[in-house]
Amino acid sequence: MKSFPISNITNAARALSFAAMATLATGAVSAATADAAKPSVVIVHGAFADGSDWAKVIPLLQAKGVHVVAVQNPLTSLDDDVAAAKRAIATQPGKVVLVGHSWGGVVITEAGDDAKVKALVYVAALVPDMGQAAGELVKDYPTASGWAHVVADQAGFLSLTQEGVAQHFAQDLSASATAVMTATQGPIQAKAFEQKLTVAAWKTKPSWYIVSEKDHMIQPDLERALAKKINAKTTSLAASHVPQQSQPAKVAAVILEAVRAASE
């Protein structure tokens, strides 16, 4: 039997190894390119909440290969929250679907005026026009019952009582869930609701809107009116103010629809 020098075997193994690594690298580049082509989702939470408010929806989006970033709003002013959203948008590799819940709808209306943002998704959200403040939107509607349970501290930051969260903010969730939400909520500076927008991204970007029919924080009639005003593709859910927690699959489905549309 003819023998082969050890050096030849070693060189052959190295060649195979390099070929395998090159194949893997090519596949990784292709996957990265595909992921970059799919829009990222940037989520902006609302008042009395933080990014964890979206913990049930995020895994559903990730399971579909969507890159998701949940912004942590300082809730100190409209400008500060918009700046936080813009930083998150800037770090994305390509197109962005911008999602806003409640007060977050105000933020994405301003921050969405970015070339990367291809679609807006509003979830039980306030949607002002250019030159309008969030607080102006509610003046023609009865005060939602949840606001009777909002308290202010000495610095002017607003938060919800435990009863407010359990009975008006998230009345379709368990007591254990609302206890955690009460503890982790983000107080919002009251003056933020008086600050006017300089731009309204919904005028130039396709929009989706989820109406919460059992909302105690924003009147459902107002939500429907806002959705109609911005010509949004509208979905109505029999949910509290936080459908992302009580009906996460349905909320994720709307966001994924926006992602598919933005991919085209």
What is the tens place of the pLDDT at every residue in 39-82?
999 999 999 999 999 999 999 999 999 999 999 999 999 999 99
pTM of the model: 0.87
Among the listed residues 231, 190, 200, the one whose alpha carbon sits nearest the alpha carbon of residue 111: 200
Beta partners for 71?
44
pLDDT of 220 = 98
Position 198 confidence tier, pLDDT thresholds 50, 70, 90: very high
User: What is the C-alpha separation between 160 and 62, in angstroms, rounded?
Assistant: 31
Q: What angle do CA 92, 232, 204 make, to 5 degrees?
A: 55
Q: Identify the CATH number of the domain defined by range 33-263.
A: 3.40.50.1820
Position 31 confidence tier, pLDDT thresholds 50, 70, 90: very low
Encoded tokens for 112: 């969405």
pLDDT of 35 = 56
